[in-house]
Amino acid sequence: MAEIIDGKRISQQIKDELKEKAAALKAKGKTGALAVIQVGADPASCVYVRNKKNACAYIGIESLAYELPEETTEEKLLELIAELNGRQEVKGILVQLPLPQHICEDKIIQAISPDKDVDGFHPQSVGAMTIGAPGFLPCTPAGIIQLLKRSGVEIAGKHCVIIGRSNIVGKPMALLMLRENATVTVAHSKTRNLAKLCRQADILIVAIGKPQFIGAEYIKEGAVVIDVGIHRNENNKLCGDVKFEEAKQAASAITPVPGGVGPMTIAMLMSNCVQSIEEG
Ligand code: NAP
């Protein structure tokens, strides 16, 4: 039976460390705010934005909330970002995704100054990560690295299979695992014989975006399984991309949903904010 990797406990540990660090920076006169911009009122986005503001309050970082109506134009949003880029006390700018269809997400991401890009989505941040230069790391993959390290999972030399190649999870995850000296395979919708490939993984990271898709037949006995997926099932309960009950029989360690990767994403956002205050 697998050990359950407790993302709630590990994220709390990280937030407590950050709270201390933020207080020490404040004592040296180093403070700053995170600007959180939301366009429209998508219910899931409202929950994420509220959690981010609460995390700022816990750590002792000011958060500035910009709740803009759904019909906000791309031009207006770009103007706001330009204003925030120029404000000295603003150390991080976060635009909650997804944006309404009439706004180009790439254009918005590229408008954020890279030194305030605490989500780590700007092409400059992505480039820096690729060559191992300093910069903000994307929060979900960086959180997974912390989950593994703080659970005592050795990464170097292990075969890591990542299912998914999105810009926010799969691709950066592959780069960060490579940086940790794993041997990395990235699977996607055109991959042949996915189950056979996954059964070769010592560490299986699942970001396929399909509820409870991955069962025991994808898991090598003793593998570590990280479930990135977040969905609501027919009973409105949260579930992941992995069939947790059967997967935990085969795995040596596994993340639950909720309480696995999810809380780590916010902890790493806070880590990027504290880093920005420190560097600013
Ligand atoms: P996404 O953009 O939908 O990407 C899904 C990936 O899975 C794509 O690369 C796709 O391949 C691949 N895929 C789809 N069907 C497949 C199949 N049958 N076999 C193999 N690969 C397949 O999703 P995402 O944004 O990366 O997110 C993945 C999941 O993580 C979602 O459930 C999302 O809600 C969740 N998530 C959680 C957090 C968190 O904080 N916990 C953060 C971000 C995302 P192609 O590229 O070929 O289409």
* Same domain membership, residue 157 and residue 106: no
pLDDT of residue 250: 97
| Residue 42 counted as domain residue | yes
Of 203, 231, 270, nearest to 15 by C-alpha is 270
3 within domain boundaries: no
Tell whether 106 and 221 lie within a shared domain.
Answer: no
Active site residue 275: no
From residue 31, alpha-carbon distances to 22, 24, 50, 266 in Å are 8, 10, 21, 19
Q: Judge if the beta carbon of residue 207 lies within 6 A of ligand 1.
A: yes
CATH number at residue 54: 3.40.50.10860
CB 204 within 8 A of CB 182: no
User: Quick check: is 96 catalytic?
Assistant: yes
212 — pLDDT class (breaks 50, 70, 90): very high
Q: Which residues of 244-278 are buried (b: 16+ CB within 10 A; e: fewer)?
A: beebbebbbbbbbbebbbbbbbbbbbbbbbbbbbe
Q: What is the pLDDT of residues 228-277, one digit of tens each?
A: 999 999 999 999 999 999 999 999 999 999 999 999 999 999 999 999 99
- Residues linked to residue 94 through DSSP beta bridges, in sequence order: 36
Atom of ligand 1 nearest to the CA of 231: 32
Full-model pTM: 0.97
Domain identity same for 40 and 83: yes
Whether residue 105 sits in one domain with residue 71: yes
Domain range for 42 is: 29-115
Reported as a single tens digit per residue, the pLDDT across 126-169 is: 999 999 999 999 999 999 999 999 999 999 999 999 999 999 99
Residue 33: pLDDT over 90: yes
User: 193 and 101, same structural domain?
Assistant: no
pLDDT digits (tens, 9 = 90+) for 166-200: 999 999 999 999 999 999 999 999 999 999 999 99
Give the count of domains, the chain.
2
- Take residue 74 and report the two structure tokens written for it: 């791309």
Residue 123 domain-assigned (yes or no): no
| Confidence bin at 124 (pLDDT 50/70/90) | very high
Q: Are residues 149 and 253 in the same domain?
A: yes
Q: What CATH number does residue 216 fall under?
A: 3.40.50.720
Q: Are residues 150 and 58 in the same domain?
A: no
For ligand 1, atom 18: residue with the closest CA: 189
Cα 260–chain centre separation: 12
Q: Is residue 38 part of a domain?
A: yes
CA-proximal residue: ligand 1, atom 3 (nearest): 209
Is 76 known to be catalytic?
no
- Answer with the one of 46, 80, 115 that is the final residue of a domain: 115
1 band by pLDDT with thresholds 50, 70 and 90: confident
Asked, for residue 128, whether it belongs to a domain, the answer is no
Give the end of a domain, one of 81, 115, 149: 115
| Per-residue pLDDT tens digits for 68-104 | 999 999 999 999 999 999 999 999 999 999 999 999 9
Atom index in ligand 1 nearest the CA of residue 260 equals: 41
Residue with token string 């180009």: 104
59 lies in the same domain as 174: no
What single-letter DSSP state applies at residue 241? Answer: S
Pocket test for ligand 1, best of 42, 147, 167, 188 (most atoms within 8 A of CB): 188
- Please indicate, yes or no, if residue 6 is contained in any of the structural domains: no
Is 8 a residue whose pLDDT tops 90?
Answer: yes
Any domain includes 12: no
pLDDT at 34: 98
Do 106 and 149 fall into the same domain? no
Do 94 and 183 reside in the same domain of the chain? no
- The overall average pLDDT reported for the chain is 97
Whether 44 and 98 share a structural domain: yes
Task: Give the pLDDT of residue 143.
Answer: 98
Nearest to 256 by CA among 3, 4, 1: 4
| Catalytic, out of 15, 21, 52, 220 | 52
Residue 9 belongs to a domain = no
